[in-house]
Structure 1
Amino acid sequence: MAAAWCAVALACGTHSPPTGAAPAVADASKAPPAPDSGAETATAEALAELGAATDLGMPDLTGAADLDGEISAVAGAELDAAAEAVNDAPTLDDTEVLAAADAEVAAQPGADGTVDATADVPDSLDGGAAEVLPADVSAPADAAPVPIGPIDPAALPFAEFANVTAEFGIDPDKPHGVCVAAADLDGNGREDLLVIERTGTKAKIHAVLLGPAAPAHVWTEFDTTLLLPTTGCVLVDMDDDSKPDLLVGGPSGAAFYHGDGKGGFVDASADWLPYVMDFTAWAIAPVDLDGDGDLDLFVGAGSPAFDTSNPGPGPACGSSKCGYEGDDFVCALVTKEPNIADLQDRVLMRGPKLPLVDQTKAWNVPPAGILSAPLPLDVDKDGKMDVFLANDFGEHYLLRNAGGAFERYDIDIGFYPYAHGMGWGLGDFNGDGLADLVLPDVGPNPVFMQVKPGPMLPVAFVDKGGEMGVWGPTWSASTWSPMVADFDHDGLEDMLVGSALNTSPKDLPAVTAGCTKNGVLPFGGHPNIDLLFTASPGGGFTAKRFASGPESHFMAIAQAVVDLDADGDLDVLQSRPGFNLTSRIRVWRNDLPKKGASCRVVVQGKAGNRDAVGAIVTAQIGGKLRTRWLTGGGGFGSTRIRIAEFGLGGAPKASNVVVTWPNGAKTAVGDVAAGATQVVVWK
């Protein structure tokens, strides 16, 4: 992701002023105005110049294995052919390409390591950026630059994960919604699983309760009269009874189901949620926005046209025009622009009385892309929860909480002005205590490392995905919902990225355009190789692959991590529904060789926020700072809100463990031994 252009006919808008002031947004009950799309339109010549300026030399991959013929990597000698294929694909010439002037290049750090909102710095990849990253990710000074280009995922070694779906009594061939979640549903101290089965217009909540005996199953009929549960979900205690409740989205808003503490649920939507919800809720994030101690909701909305309840093979041929611009992959919608009201993200606030109240207008929330995924995080450490937004066919940005309203920041803090953002990955990849972000995308995935901000900016990021080894395997993939965790217990955070499809640089433009061309199938018929990036001690990641599944279509992916077998490592639960609804659930057992033991810190909140959503847990592991953010969002499945797990590597314990609560108070825990679970209560 290096080309700094916004290439969608759907209005993407310009970046906000350096102060972060956001444009006004109309009343959420009405169709809000389209965002300002700027005055400039990039010409075909400008795009050509950009492609030339950002074109990367590709490594010679002619010797790479091509397992099962699934994917053909484009080698250096094949670039001309690949370019011809891209040129033959639908072009961007007759589509409005939105960009501000030269300053709309993603911000890069200056000589002092800061990012200046006003600096006019080319978006180069020549190593000229002078930010200083800690030794955890620094390459040796005399190391030769690593070539950056496409890597065939089918040639990667397999990750040591076993498909154990059948052992947990889940029928993988039943249609399911884009909902997977993990929480202790029955109060026995073990995390349980939750998915949503669907048959036509009927649905059931399926809870899989884990314990010392075989898994137990509890089904709850879902009332589909007003909402078909098709999209993202989260388990969180909203009603202060210390039992997880379920929030789930669909094409007519959201639903709230009260948990009974035994794996069952009761519909309480009428009590908790607004009566009228004229939007599709793709992702729901619990967050205390106003600092009053109870949980509000930030809802990532989207177009119902992209809702998996709509059967069919995917968008029609010619509905989008796609191609590479240098090392970036961009698509433009050429079909009728969706109703902007559908794309309005929502803020639902909890007050003295229920139901939650829609305060989208008051919080100055801008319209989003085709679908959006929120990640709440107090990134500027001012005691107020901010929200990062990933958008499909649109921009990704930070909504900084200024106290009752949001201020928007995007390219001025180092983000790109266009992406197919399908969630967020959150971690600290270099041990500096600052939050770093992974943006799943179509094409090379950015890894935004946090650096020192320039004047007038709350935070700043630099994309290090290329040199950290993430761009290559994702070069021609559509990725979703990254899970960041220490899967191999070496004390470093790894990353699992779900892949909806993998193809080649030659074929990706035609695949994503939805057209059959030169034997290329649109959306269907392609492998879907999930990627595990394990952290390397010297910095960056080493990629491994999962087996490509039987799902032969362009899919959404929801993921959650959970210790299924109480062996101390993290396993994975996935939902992979697609346009033709041949949905599948996958349960993956983690069999990676372990490089150490692990320990856990479980937090318990107080009235209004029993799960302590927004807490931060830090520890010293072998003398290195490690940080876990217990936040309520980031993807389309449920995140682990209450549990911070630390791999220990060669260390016997986690030292100097500290919990920072959502109100800023701190609890010093001390040491947590290998294999131990420490419960910490917010008082």
Structure 2
Amino acid sequence: MAQRAGLIHPVVFGEDNVKRYIVEANGPGIAFYDYDHDGWLDVLVVNGTRREGFPNGREPTNHLYQNNRDGTFTDVTAKAGLARTGWGYGVCVGDYDNDGHDDLFLTYYGQNALYHNNGDGTFTEVTAKAGLASPRPRFNTGCAFVDYDRDGYLDLFVSRYLEIDINKAPGGPSRYCTFRGIPVNCGPLGLAQESCSLYHNNGDGTFTEVTEKAGISKAGKRYGLAVVALDYNNDGWPDLFVADDSSPNLLLRNNRDGTFTDVAMEAGAAVNGDGQEQANMGVAVGDCEGDGWLDIFATHFSDDTPILYHNVKGEFFDDVTTAAGLAVETRYVGWGAGFADFDNDGWLDLFEVNGTVYPEVEKVISDYRFKMPREVFRNLGDGSFEEVSERSGAAVLEAHSSRGCAFGDFDNDGKLEILIANLGEPPSLLKNTAPNTNHWLSVKLEGTGSNRSAIGARITLTAGGRKQIREVTSGGSYISQSDLRQHFGLGASERIDELKIRWPAGETESIGKLDADRFVTIQEGKAVIEVTKKP
């Protein structure tokens, strides 16, 4: 329904029918983002360009679409000051200066961009002023705002892919430049890996790079893509997971003293259960088994399955992909993914988008497809999933070469929708039309002593004899941003017995007896400040 909704501009990433260089192949993320703070999700589409350029005035740009509250959107990009062109990749959202307006960070091949939200529908680009400009062009990919030191200000983590000069892109007969004997864009193998960076928020609108001081440098270089912050060991301090393409993942444990240690290998989250490196693209985080510990799902390249890492009480991760019923498809190249309760039954389902990186190959190999369908897996509540793609609607089965995806309730009807970035096409907006009467609750948190966006907060909801947890996160999926509001499916429960909130700064707060089917706003230290029903 994206075209009918007004999301009309295509995602441009190189030529449509051939990807000569790896910068053209990966593609961007996308965001559900309430930039104007009106309680309705807007849309931010990250865009790319072409190596040969465009005529003046016809360059593709990012696009910000304002939600009209009637199922349609209006393009407000130029008015908002976001019409930048270039090789855009990742997006993350967070209120870095605690002024009550969520700001925007975009990663690029070249120079990243920090946009300060002015609170009047416009943005000011403050990258250099904030100390985030790079001395040289770099292949930046994922990003996440995270208050790693719990001082009340959002810090920033940036992942990177590889080292390459786009004006001297490699080519030739190398084995890293062919696929099934056909010449394709080179990499990532054969190209130099890159490092991640951590920037500390100084509390005055500026950042200082602390990558080495924080121990991030010790993790070495990888082919870094999606990143997400999560408290995997439930100690109240945010850790970081980086999905790495064709190299071991990073799981950066927060040491609670301003430093991190990569524990991915010893924790079982670096490789699969057979000890094999995988081509990790996107990442989803959620408690899919309902045991109070956050699990990790990562998407992969073709001829492999995705992976589900079951979190065993914060001590280690177990590869349960096959046991969970997720090792069902090896033809697809997976990108964005997310855990979300689409049917509001109280169990987190799973959604994944797919698409290959070599459009020229389908001209030679008849059964090869650049565009691929999406996948939906229903959580059965017993640690396993059932693929339900074929009965989830025509929009799921449509073939696209998709990349980032984001999740949120854009029409405020109590059901989660999906926003998808497609190469060479406008984005997709999948409306949830599930015909059920299950109940739900949507929770928005506002920090006071903690960061204003409450990123890193954990919510524990008790209803119907069960507990569910959510964490407010920045980043995730494939370099995308989902709604900061936290959605809970409640099944038949019409009331919530208790909401327990662990705020990012460490304080806890309990709220009891809330009616279901509501949007609730909770401010740190002031309990519930707003309750609204769906329109």
TM class by shorter chain equals 0.7 to 0.9
In the alignment, which residue of structure 1 is the partner of 2:365? 520
Query: How far apart in 1 are the matches of 2:325 and 2:370?
Result: 23
In the alignment, which residue of structure 2 is the partner of 1:195? 45
Cα 1:335–1:536 shift into 2, 3 Å: closer
**Post-superposition offset of 1:335:** 7.9
In the alignment, which residue of structure 1 is the partner of 2:124? 266
In the alignment, which residue of structure 2 is the partner of 1:301? 160
In the alignment, which residue of structure 1 is the partner of 2:374? 530
Query: How far apart in 1 are the matches of 2:129 and 2:385?
Result: 47
Q: Say whether 1:492 aligns with 2:347.
A: yes
1:439-450 superposed matches below 5 A: 439-442=298-301, 443-450=304-311
Q: Say whether 1:461 aligns with 2:295.
A: no
Q: Say whether 1:256 aligns with 2:117.
A: no
The equivalent position to 2:4 in structure 1, one of 163, 167, 178, is 167
Tell me if the contact between 2:285 and 2:297 (Cα under 8 Å) persists in the aligned partners. yes
In the alignment, which residue of structure 1 is the partner of 2:384? 540
Query: How far apart in 1 are the matches of 2:29 and 2:326?
Result: 26
Query: How far apart in 2 are the matches of 1:364 and 1:658?
Result: 33
Q: Say whether 1:219 aligns with 2:77.
A: yes
Query: How far apart in 2 are the matches of 1:636 and 1:527?
Result: 17
In the alignment, which residue of structure 1 is the partner of 2:445? 603
Cα 1:316–1:639 shift into 2, 3 Å: farther
1:10-159 superposed matches below 5 A: none
The equivalent position to 2:236 in structure 1, one of 370, 383, 394, is 383
Cα 1:622–1:282 shift into 2, 3 Å: same
Query: How far apart in 2 are the matches of 1:527 and 1:558?
Result: 14
**Post-superposition offset of 1:549:** 4.2
Question: 2:340 corresponds to which letter in structure 1?
Answer: A
Alignment partner of 1:411: what SS?
Answer: helix
Tell me if the contact between 1:188 and 1:211 (Cα under 8 Å) persists in the aligned partners. no
Which deviations, in whole Å up to 9, do the C-alpha atoms of 1:82-111 show, x marking residues without a partner? Answer: xxxxxxxxxxxxxxxxxxxxxxxxxxxxxx
**Post-superposition offset of 1:311:** 11
Query: How far apart in 2 are the matches of 1:613 and 1:421?
Result: 24
Which deviations, in whole Å up to 9, do the C-alpha atoms of 1:4-31 show, x marking residues without a partner? Answer: xxxxxxxxxxxxxxxxxxxxxxxxxxxx
Cα 1:186–1:346 shift into 2, 3 Å: same
Q: With the length of structure 2 as denominator, give the TM-score of the two structures.
A: 0.82
Percentage of matched positions with identical amino acids: 23
Which deviations, in whole Å up to 9, do the C-alpha atoms of 1:116-172 show, x marking residues without a partner? Answer: xxxxxxxxxxxxxxxxxxxxxxxxxxxxxxxxxxxxxxxxxxxxxxxx001221115
Q: Say whether 1:557 aligns with 2:415.
A: no
Query: How far apart in 2 are the matches of 1:338 and 1:469?
Result: 35
Tell me if the contact between 2:47 and 2:86 (Cα under 8 Å) persists in the aligned partners. no
Q: Report the aligned-residue RMSD.
A: 3.1
> Of the two, which has the highest radius of gyration?
1
Which deviations, in whole Å up to 9, do the C-alpha atoms of 1:285-322 show, x marking residues without a partner? Answer: 00012222211111011126599x9999x997731688
In the alignment, which residue of structure 1 is the partner of 2:498? 656
Cα 1:630–1:251 shift into 2, 3 Å: same
Query: How far apart in 2 are the matches of 1:205 and 1:266?
Result: 15
Q: With the length of structure 1 as denominator, give the TM-score of the two structures.
A: 0.65
In the alignment, which residue of structure 1 is the partner of 2:458? 616
In the alignment, which residue of structure 1 is the partner of 2:278? 419
Tell me if the contact between 1:536 and 1:542 (Cα under 8 Å) persists in the aligned partners. yes
Query: How far apart in 1 are the matches of 2:499 and 2:173?
Result: 53
Which deviations, in whole Å up to 9, do the C-alpha atoms of 1:435-475 show, x marking residues without a partner? Answer: 111111122111111114xxxxx6211111112111113x2
In the alignment, which residue of structure 1 is the partner of 2:34? 184
Alignment partner of 2:343: what SS?
Answer: coil
Tell me if the contact between 1:600 and 1:645 (Cα under 8 Å) persists in the aligned partners. yes
Question: 1:195 corresponds to which letter in structure 2?
Answer: V
Alignment partner of 2:128: what SS?
Answer: helix
In the alignment, which residue of structure 1 is the partner of 2:198? 347
In the alignment, which residue of structure 2 is the partner of 1:589? 431
In the alignment, which residue of structure 1 is the partner of 2:471? 629
Structure 1 unaligned blocks of 5 or more: 1-163, 324-332, 453-457, 502-510
1:383-402 superposed matches below 5 A: 383-402=236-255
In the alignment, which residue of structure 2 is the partner of 1:367? 220
Cα 1:173–1:398 shift into 2, 3 Å: closer
Alignment partner of 1:271: what SS?
Answer: coil
Structure 2 unaligned blocks of 5 or more: 14-26, 181-185, 390-394, 526-535
Tell me if the contact between 2:156 and 2:199 (Cα under 8 Å) persists in the aligned partners. yes
Alignment partner of 1:472: what SS?
Answer: coil
In the alignment, which residue of structure 1 is the partner of 2:89? 231
Tell me if the contact between 2:463 and 2:498 (Cα under 8 Å) persists in the aligned partners. no
Query: How far apart in 2 are the matches of 1:632 and 1:169?
Result: 26
Query: How far apart in 2 are the matches of 1:658 and 1:410?
Result: 30
Cα 1:628–1:310 shift into 2, 3 Å: farther
In the alignment, which residue of structure 2 is the partner of 1:571? 417
